[in-house]
């Protein structure tokens, strides 16, 4: 990276784990915008919290500045995805078992 570089617009997007709440951040770079949203990926139930920070006219000296993001992660959030997968697989097996128990014969039983 060259010396004396400046950037007109810088956007930093932080994607937190699914279930993260009470998101807070600290930075030494002056910001012009902050958005908090939800990012959904494959097999997410509620989506992942995202933090989008925007700064304008950032100079080269700002590259060593820190961004500290803190959040709460409840114990139940760690088990949300495994429980969802287990219940989905159990539903598939229960459905297959139920369909296998159906009598679809054409003739009368002897």
- Per-residue pLDDT reduced to its tens digit, 75-92: 888 888 889 899 999 999
Q: Which one, of 14, 19, 16, 15, lies nearest residue 75 by Cα?
A: 19
Structure tokens at 47: 């989506």
Reported as a single tens digit per residue, the pLDDT across 7-50 is 888 899 999 998 898 999 999 888 899 999 999 988 888 889 99
* Partner residues linked to 51 by β-bridges: 14, 36
Q: Is the whole model's pTM more than 0.75, yes or no?
A: no
pLDDT value of position 110:
64
At residue 79, the 3 state secondary structure works out as: helix
Q: How far is CA 84 from CA 5, 58, 69, in A?
A: 48, 43, 28
Higher pLDDT, 85 or 61: 85
């Amino acid at each position: 990276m060259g010396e004396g570089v400046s950037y007109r617009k810088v956007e930093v997007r932080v994607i937190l784990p699914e279930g993260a709440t009470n998101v807070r951040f600290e930075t030494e770079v002056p910001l012009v915008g902050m958005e908090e949203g939800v990012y959904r990926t494959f097999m997410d139930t509620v989506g992942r919290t995202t933090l989008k920070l925007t700064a304008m006219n950032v100079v080269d000296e700002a590259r060593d500045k820190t961004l500290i993001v803190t959040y709460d992660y409840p114990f139940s959030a760690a088990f949300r995805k495994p429980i969802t997968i287990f219940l989905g697989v159990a539903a598939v097996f229960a459905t297959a078992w139920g369909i296998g128990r159906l009598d679809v014969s054409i003739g009368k039983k002897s």
